[in-house]
Chain A
Amino acid sequence: MISSSHFAVRESQPELPTLRIAPSKGWVPLKLNDLWDYRELLYFLIWRDIKVRYKQTALGATWAIIQPFLTMVVFSVFFGHLAKVPSDGIPYPIFSFAALVPWTFFASGLNQSSNSLVGSGSLITKVYFPRLIIPLASVFSGIIDFALAFIVLLAMMFYYGMMPTLNVLWLPLFLLLALVTSLGVGLWLSALNVEYRDVRYVVPFITQFWMLATPIGYPSSLLHEPWRTVFGLNPMVGVVEGFRWALLGTNTAPGPIVAVSAAAAIGILITGAFYFRRMEKTFADIV
């Protein structure tokens, strides 16, 4: 008898759980409770990623700031100053930086998680744990970088004399949206990357095109409705416009965009998670 459920745990005796190990077929359940059981491992992997990253680089935490900051400078000079791209009536540097901070979080999470499984080959072939933890840890470990860049963002707001409104309470939600998007795409790409190693070369292109398709250097108000809302299908549009709205008080009420973005991001996350689980059984054999 071959059970089609993947490692189903059932209780046969009061204190001893019975684990059935049998081949699984096709789509398998996500088993989020399994993930919850391993939350401490998730915590330690995030902690390791952060610790090692800051130990190994000479500039350490400074990288988290340099990257978005320099991009902002370049954008400000070329788009803001020379090309005179509109910025919803806000000083261009802070207009673009408010978008670059969540963008950098998203892009580095995407990049790290796409390569995470292949980079953890030695773990995957030696010990069992829910594999979802690996891309999860790589996305979450970007939080510290985000926090550092965010402090710079606050400092810039102070410099430009901008006070956040009460809208700022919504900010965690937009950060969550960026995280969900990053994780969703990361799940797809990391699982694909195990089987098709050229995914690694595709990721920089994806990030590059995605950046251009996100209103970072320009405002989404350049588009007219309904296209502006359709633009929200790119979840990062919702994130970026949400950040600007919450922090800088742009009057581009982002409601419909954010709703569309959230739906798109959740869609990517759910399909990504199921695809990942489906491919999971092959990881140890080919990674």
Chain B
Amino acid sequence: MTDIAIKVKDLGKRYRIGAQRHAYRTLREKLNDAALAPFRAVKSLAHTNGTAKSNGIEGQNGRNGSSQIGHATLNPAVHSANNLIWALKDVSFEVERGEVVGIIGRNGAGKSTLLKILSRITEPTEGYADIHGRIASLLEVGTGFHPELTGRENIYLNGSILGMKRAEINKKFDEMVAFAEVEKFIDTPVKHYSSGMYVRLAFAVAAHLDPEILLVDEVLAVGDAAFQKKCLGKMGDVAREGRTVLFVSHNMAAIENLCSRAILFDQGAIAFNGNVNECITAYMDTGSSTNSSDVDLTSHPARDLGALPLLKRVRLLDKDHNLKDRFVCGEPMKIEFSFERPASLGNPQFGVGVNDWMGARVFSITTYFSDSSLPALNGQSKVVCEIESLPLAPGRYTLSLSMGTLETLLVDNLENAVSFDVESVDFYGNGRVPEASFGRVLVRSRWLAVPERLETK
């Protein structure tokens, strides 16, 4: 009884989503709502039959998975007619003091929602969680970093945001700076830092948090290989010190090395809870489903505020048209859009932005800036963008998707709507495998000796 650090009981979190309703409302809408309410009541009475029918059809399609607009990624555990989805439902588990528990699952399985509830960022809808001990959460490295402030200033700011006391930061300051290897630049504004330095500094602060219970979300997937190794080492130290850690990651090797137990989430519920290796096997089985490379965009949270939800779905495919979320360097990739096209809209244009894990744009491809322009569409509701060879270094990337017209420009836009991994492969055909530290882009090149006479010319 005294050994329980975290006890979660029947925890559930419901989100309201919906294409007709944006994430936030405007006062005008609210006022309109109020003014029109009496009329709508009459109208809904008249239309009851019609609505019931269309709901029925949608529900059926959702179950069969045959609907054009799939419910793949947001994978609601329960889906009701008024657009409420349970991101987490009936989740119960306990974590003992000193345990390091891995949380794994596909994107949207509820892992992050769980951590957000446990770290008090958002409230549960039902159930409860008891936390015994001082808790700190690390959902992102560098939260609150300000580019104008120096490394030193950001350490204090970020440390206090993560819940450290000033005295504690003073004490650990030198250690953090040494860990980040930025001694020389500690009084330079971080906007002048390289991305590597930035991440190292951010992680250094986080790594020196000293709580009894630590919640970590996927933050180790940053930096170059050497630094990742260092971070994993630090995490290992934390684990050995007898601290309780909940660790969300897609890095199965890290989970295997660090965790004494793992919990697999699927569709907002616990699918497996126990032995790490068995859990990873179970996870690989859910991996054959195509969640993260087939994304329902109808009510996606990544949509820009105010954008028209015209893009309905995106799928990442390999050259044989199979769904895929792990590509290798240089592999062909197809990005297929399903969309809705109101009659009023001119000929649509599409764009894809490829971003690295830090959110920096690596490159963009659009129908407008392209060597083969998109033919005029008559009635089609799908287009596919073919990339001959992915020029990306190993790592995780996200895609930002947009749809517009030549006249009105951007109509719909989703930032980081879908993610995929690129894995190392013999890209250059010489048996050497590119590394993440090479930069984001792989370029084929030819190296020649310049003949003497050309040089003198």
Contact = CB atoms under 8 A, between A and B. Distances in A.
A124 B161 CA distance: 11
B126 interface: yes
Nearest to A196: B27
Interface stretch (B135-143, B177-185, B310-318, B437-445): B135-143
B124 A19 contact: no
Interface stretch (A50-58, A159-167, A177-185, A228-236): A50-58
Given A20-B129, A199-B27, A40 B166 contact: yes
Interface stretch (B152-160, B329-337, B385-393): B152-160
B127 A22 contact: yes
Contacts of A126: 121, 139-140, 143
A43 to B, nearest CB: 8
A127 B143 contact: yes
Given A21-B117, A55-B148, A128-B120, A196 B153 contact: no
Contacts of B134: 17
Contacts of B122: 281, 284-285
A275 to B, nearest CB: 15
B125 interface: yes
A2 B116 CA distance: 19
B165 interface: yes
Given A22-B128, A122-B143, A194 B24 contact: yes
Given A19-B130, A127-B139, A198-B27, A44 B157 contact: yes
B128 A128 contact: no
A125 B121 contact: yes
Contacts of A196: 24-27, 30
B133, B144, B156, B165: most-surrounded residue (chain A CB, <10 A): B144
B212 to A, nearest CB: 8
Nearest to A48: B157
A48 B146 contact: yes
A175 to B, nearest CB: 26
Contacts, number: 124
A6 B26 CA distance: 28
A124 B137 CA distance: 13
Contact of B132 (A13, A56, A197, A284): A13
A23 interface: yes
B119 interface: yes
Given A123-B144, A126-B139, A16 B133 contact: yes
Given A13-B2, A51-B149, A195-B25, A18 B130 contact: yes
A202 B26 CA distance: 12
A43 B164 CA distance: 13
Contacts of B140: 126
A52 B131 contact: no
Interface string A13-53: 10011111111100000000000000011011101100110
Contacts of B161: 41, 44, 123, 127, 129
Interface residues of B, number: 48
Contact of B163 (A22, A52, A124, A129): A129
Interface in B47-78: none
Interface string A209-238: 000000000000000000000000000000
Contacts of B166: 40
B191 to A, nearest CB: 11
Interface centre among B118, B120, B157, by most A CB within 10 Å?
Answer: B120
A6 B116 CA distance: 16
A2 B130 contact: no
Given A18-B132, A55-B148, A195-B25, A41 B124 contact: no
B428 interface: no
A125 B139 CA distance: 9
B120 A197 contact: no
Contacts of A55: 148-149
B363 interface: no
Contacts of A41: 160-161, 163
Contact of B23 (A20, A24, A286): A286
B28 interface: yes
B93 interface: no
A51 B137 contact: no
A1 interface: yes
Contact of A20 (B130, B137, B146, B163): B130
A7 interface: yes
Contacts of A285: 15, 122
Interface string B9-37: 00000010000000111111010000000
Contacts of A67: none
Contact of A44 (B135, B156, B305): B156
B254 interface: no
A3 interface: yes
Contacts of A281: 122-123
A40 B161 CA distance: 9
Given A127-B137, A127-B143, A129-B161, A48 B149 contact: yes
B26 A1 contact: no
A10 to B, nearest CB: 10
Given A18-B131, A21-B118, A48-B157, 12 more contacts: A13-B132, A21-B130, A21-B131, A23-B126, A40-B160, A51-B153, A122-B144, A125-B116, A126-B143, A127-B163, A281-B123, A285-B15
22 contacts: A2-B127, A2-B128, A16-B133, A18-B130, A19-B120, A19-B131, A20-B128, A23-B123, A23-B125, A44-B156, A47-B157, A48-B146, A51-B149, A55-B148, A127-B143, A127-B144, A127-B161, A128-B121, A195-B24, A196-B27, A198-B28, A202-B27
Nearest 9 interchain pairs by C-beta:
A22-B128, A128-B120, A19-B131, A281-B123, A21-B129, A196-B27, A284-B122, A44-B160, A126-B143
Interface of A: 1-3, 6-7, 12-13, 16-24, 40-41, 43-45, 47-48, 51-52, 55-56, 122-129, 194-199, 202, 281, 284-286
